Structure 1
Amino acid sequence: MKRIDRVYEQLVDNWENSTLENILTDQGNSAQELADQLEVTRSNTSLELNKLVREQKVVKVKQFPVKYVAAESLLAIIPQLERIHLFEVQSLNEFLDDSLEGTQNSKEVFSVSQEIKKKNNPFDLVIGHRDSLKKAISQAKAAVYYPPFGLHMLLLGPTGSGKTFFANRIYEYARYENILDDKAPFESFNCADYSHNPQLLMSQLFGFCKGAFTGATEDHPGLVEKANGGILLLDEIHRLPPEGQEMLFYFIDNGSFNRLGESGIKRQAKVLIICATTENPTSTLLATFLRRIPMTITIPPLKDRSIKERVQLMKFLFRNEAKRIEKTLRIHIDVLNALLHTTNYGNVGQLKAQIQLVCAQAFLAHLHRSEEIDIRVKDLPEEIRQEWLYSTKNIERAKDLSEFVDVVTLIQPEDAIVIPRENFSEFNIYESIEEKVAALESEGIDSEQIHQYILTDLHLHIRNFVRSGNVTYNLDKFVDQEISALTSELKVLAEKKLNCRFDRRFNYYIGMHIDAFFKRGKNSGRLLSQEIEKVKTSHSLEYQVALLFREKIRERLDVELPELEVVYLTMLISSIETLDEKKKVSVLVVAHGNSTATSMVEAATELLGNAPIEALDMPLSVSPNELFERLSARVKSLESGKGILMLVDMGSLAMLGNKLEKATGSRIRTIPNVTTAMVLDVVRKVNYMDMDLSSIYASVRKDFLASVSLQEENRGKPKVILSICTTGQGTAKKLEKMLTDIIYESTDDSVSVLSVSALRLAKEIPKIVQKYQVIASVGTKNPHIDSPHISLEALIEEQGESVLRQLLNAPVYDETKKKERKNIVVRDLCEDTLKTYLIYLNPYHVTDMLIEWSEVIQEKLEQSFSNSSILKLVIHTAFAFERVLKKNELAYKETISGELHEIIELVTQTLTTLEEKLDLKICKDEKVYIAEIILEIIS
């Protein structure tokens, strides 16, 4: 008998003659239980069980640990269940409730199911429910039970402490206790999204009726209506403006509301409101609003939770990674020790990112090995590993840790707990690693190089995670005003000496560091002497700037910074520079003939803008030695430190890559059979995508190999360009007309425009791809198909239309027509946006005035703004005028830099005419924000 048959037979035998209560209580068998019965490994048992799930013979119950039950056993025990539709469920209880709803003779099953469900309290699954979260859970239970409809709650805690997760658990608990109906709604709303537009906020919360504003073509219920009978979570409640708070407490007091634009109708809703904030509520919320939220619950930060809880949390995060990898993890105690003690994580998200990086590095090392992955200290990020190696407390900490974990902790994929209402559709880094390794292996790249490439990608992944974090740049909130002002001076000094420009991150990082130096009593950390010398040598220019910083600080604050602090400032300046590094992969196109390579490069740079790309034409008369010398010289001149991609026309040139690497010391990748389309693709990826040499090389090879098979597949199908739009009808129609004009001017082939709503994209795309040959897609959403996508923003810029015409093999085109088309689309985009959001001002009139004003600004500055920049400037300024009417103007709380003063003066002068025509006066702070946009455009 095959192993899979043995597993299935054992599973069926286990539940033969069982009762409904037994199967609902136990929820089936785990892989480990079956493995023990059959005397085979748990991993092999799990493998067979998952095959049986895919074959729809076994139902998988995704709890902790994962359980399995044969479909035929369920049908035998529960005769009311005629057939099974779902084979992966959260629990058998809810699965049966849904499956049997409305069927005859199901009352008994439903009654037993409800009784069993009573045993599963959602709060019992929360890590820390008996310790750090005990008080919070007790408060939440009291609030939920308070008559008649519960108490509204305010959750306090730092970013990433788990406030949203806790709100979900409150909702699950209320359903578990039958305080809320099983199908009661849970709605979530982020107040930051509409913090500067009270009217739009009102329409989102309370809905609007047909004709309430331009574009309101039908009645629309708000979140309060949708949450009726359930819970509404208001995240970042501190971003809710006073008008919004007043709207809410009127609803809390009366339980009634009106939709926007509605009169004479009082609507009713019963909603339990949970608010969440990271700020001090007394300084950000109205006292009248706070009085109506009687229950305040504090969620502790990660650093304040016990070692036991943090270990449980790490195990939980490792379980999730094991589930995604589908392999068993063997985690050595030193890894947990290092993660637990070497870094003070601000939130769970940071800890999760580090654990994912550790798992990814270990996964890469075990890619072609067993089903188990060893995670050791060598897999830790360098900074954590070094800190752990030099710590003198490791043995003592390991003893404390051994109370909660073994020397090696085993984490099985089946151990992962699937949390209800959580989103698990995020990017899977392990799948990405497998795909990239396979692609690189197919190119014959050795394993050591592959390992290095993937490690670089992993660190970029974590760097992007850090980049995407929300950082508050208003320094005055965090540091002394004198340090804040000094930091602004240091920024000007650093920019002058380093010949570069820093954004506001400089003020944040440098200011916080200097402030921390004073707060910690001027006690610096420790760096080894050889590390100090290495920093001085490798970042000599930044070190000189840090010495100037020391002089400034001595002057202003009468404090002498120690040498070690100067070194730390050097590292900090260097790190900030690295975040904004603009170096790109260089490209060298080499082709035989007098102008072949030059023609391709000129076409690419004309269409897609300047790039680090050069052409080398090779007349057939050139000798091999001369050819090599020319190539070496060109490679050396192009080298920027990011490597060089060589695109060549013949295989003989491709053979020179390794020899050139040895001669020049540059990293080189070579792709043969170069075409103009390939050069265009490479320039696009170099200019507009954050990709390293290996990524561009693998991507281009993959894309152009795929295009050959795609051409065969598409032969005979009608050709179309997809027009995708979610904006108003004006823009959609103009976009279709613009594309039709471009096709008419570019090709004699039969190519039509097919308009698709972005909202119906997922449903329509499979049918379209099957029926048509899609040359390109254009518009507001990328359909992610095997053809180029041109964004609406790119289309109204030069490069977007140029790429489209290139795809249609177009001849040289009329610049005048192109400019006219762009202006029309920009105007329509402005009108469509303003029609949707302006309440008081006439969008048509304002659009015309502000576009003319933007032209005046360009003339005064002797600059030509891109269309996307004009769009941004016009819309922001229109909203500024609207805020004057609403008496809700923005306040600028940061220090105004010297370069901004001139732009503010220009804005003030040029806006005077508009202010007179509209009879509206914009305040100085609003003008500073407008000036910031202009400065960003011209910088």
Structure 2
Amino acid sequence: MRRIDKVYHQLLNNFHEFTLDELLSKQGSSAQEIAEQLEMERSNISFELNNLVRAQKVIKIKTFPVRYVPVEVVEDIFREKWNLEDMEVELLEQPVDHQKKQTISTNPFELMIGAKGSLKKSISQAKAAVLYPPNGLHMLLLGPTGSGKSLFANRIYQFALYSERLKPGAPFITFNCADYYNNPQLLLSQLFGHKQGSFTGANGDKIGLVEQANGGVLFMDEIHRLPPEGQEMLFYLIDQGTYNRLGETDHKRTSKVLIICATTENPGSSLLKTFLRRIPMTIHIPSLEERSLKEKIRLTTFLLGKEAERINKNLSVHMDVLNALIHTEKFGNVGQLKSNVQLACAHGFLNNLNNKNVVELTVRDLPDEIKQDWISSSNNIERSKMISEYVNIKTIISPVVEDEMTKIDDDLSFNLYHLIEEKVEILKNEGLSETEINRYILTDIQLNIKSFFNQKTFQNSNLMKFVGDDVIQITRDLKQVAEKELNCKFDRKFIHFLSMHIDAFLKRGKQIDVLSAQETDEIRDTYLKEYQVALIFKKKIQEFFNVVVPEIEVIYLTMVIQSIKSLEENKRVGIVVAAHGNSTASSMVEVATELLGRTPIVAIDVPLNLSPSEILANLTEGIKKVDEGEGVLMLVDMGSLVMLENQLEEKTGIKIKTMSNVTTSMVLDTVRKVNYLDLNLYAIYDSVQKDFMEFLDKQADISEKKKVLVSICTTGDGTAKKLEKILTAIINKVSSEPIRVLTVSSIKLASNIKEIQKEYEVIATAGTKNPKINAPHIPLEVLIEGDGERIIQQAITNGKIHSSNGPIRSNIVVPELCEENLRQHLVFLNPYHITTILLEWVQNMQDELGIILSNTVIIRIIMHTAFAFERTIKNEPIAFPEDEEIDDKLEKIYEKTEKTLKSIEKKLGCKITRDEKLFITTIFAEEM
């Protein structure tokens, strides 16, 4: 076989049985990948691939690196012929559906209910944003849950096609930030894509949604869930039109995309100000309450028409049903109205199974909560008069046939009515009567409507009217039992799901056993703990209701408990407030909890007569008390408490970040962010620190100049930004007053520094160029070596810190630089944890050997040792040269290295080889 044929067949084999999504994600194979597969020279492979492109057999995708895919693979997966004039493309994109290529002849906004009423202003703003030259304005949609923000975003996209501001077939990509809010790295990967090896699990390159949305619209729902770093990446894309995939530093990508964001939150409190400034158009989407009666009726009849289309029958709807659905006081928004319509139609469908032509909806088909509200209302006559202007006593509603212009998002991935018919057929075959069947199905309908539990307003309203008070009472008791036995906390949905399940069991009477003996045995064995809890439930339910609970119901309860376990409350960051004085911390925490509600927070008062060991013990206890698994943020009043961070982390095994100069305002800001923003420990720390420094900057007149440290590099970015982070950490460590870090460029430094000195007191400078002012300057290399940190500390504290001539033991520079470099290379190890562990180990080795190492050497040792553990995990250890002499000195240092590394090997669960340890030993030996 010729070489070119081998290359082509390998390329074909690489995409054997690929799906469309897999192909779009992979985007082809690179020359290097094929060279490794065929064990040939990359240059030869590249030569043959380009020959195949010229022969119109392979498509060249100009990504970085360049990738190739056979034409026949693309045609097979896309199911259409490839245009052979396009053998080189920027990106392999999803084929455009021919229907979407057609131009839109009707203004999509005109078809919306309320276009000339409650939505008139919103539509006017959206039109202006789409038509604004040259490429439109990015938009932020505000409105309560279920108000129709997603639908409105889709109409904006349709209008952009209609007005020809987007090309036919332009993509409309939807992304819900809440789906990944507890995993910021995965969230950013979904948005921007990632490079192979950029994080654990990144086994290949992946394109992100920003890339997929190029030339179209990216709709980002629940944007308040996007972490600050994601907002920063997004506003950089808005400003520059460029972005990087995660893990990329040497390649800028471009994407021309119109961004539409949506949130239910106050954007001023949940989004970065810098991000908000780049979204110039804010559009309010009205709630159902803000809409007119005519619009509410049109919405309700439209939703009923959708259900009629599913049932494939006309609906005969009594005016009282419309009256109750529209005027109930509890539903709150369009999403909830939709759920209520679905429940009513499901009940009506079951009650009209034998009627082939029409489903009649009466008051009896309404959900119990709405029915009771309608029955007890004294305004029904007045409401009926108002509704009678628009509808008859009975209104016939025909199926709504939807097209792309009228289609709205559907909560259900299945046809509920088909499900009901199937269940009825099964129960008939079991010999149940019609009455028994109706009881069984009706009590399960609520559980099958997923959107019923997805609406926030349901969680806040009195849902328990769907079940009896006695069921609620026993369910609350069972919740306490489950939490105690399973050692976990359940959220409010435990009451919802379990009460509905128990209510259904009690009303069904006869139990339907649809599981085989093998399946029930498997459930018992797999979920043993949950099964034991279900047995306790069985006993309590039998005693409480005086009924017999069969074994199959215990199995069902086991399955319910297991499924509810995944609905635990979101874990939050814990807060410890520690301040000197008898009640300083307690007072701040009391104010915060009174104003903002409960949160995982504890106050640690530190009387002046308390010993260091007592302070440490109290802080340890407080940290353990508030930890929910997401780490703890310590807010302290003085630098001395900041020094305890590493010691407390080691003692508790909990991630800790510390901020000094605590005030009541800072505590309030932190509690608010923990309660409402769903940020991780590091994001909250960064956010509070940034906001607090901005707050300090805005304080009214201060008689003396504010103190600053100046970070200098050639561009005023890059290295200086990294320096800024290090200098800020040094300040927080030793200073009890606010000191800001200013980043400047060395270009025109003389004029820049003069301007800074007019407004600030420069206490020190650090970086690549000496401004030659009356303040200490620390060159970059001196800061890295170790002495620079001590100089800065002395400058901050006016020389009050007296440390040894050598580098200080607990420094800032080493962990910052190590963690940053390791983050770019490690796959399996956590850069933060391995840096912390190895930093302490290096100190132990210095004590063992009686030496003091410079920062440069410490960084070298930590980096090398971290890579040694990484290689061990990957089973790729390196060998020590056989001809290298191991003398007595090296052997003695090796023994100490091996001894001190044992605890780390045990902690990480892997043991590095003697050869790896010898390499580490030689680094120490060179310094002796």
Task: Report the TM range for the smaller structure's normalisation.
Answer: 0.3 to 0.5
In the superposition, the TM-score normalised over structure 2's length comes to 0.44
In the superposition, the TM-score normalised over structure 1's length comes to 0.43
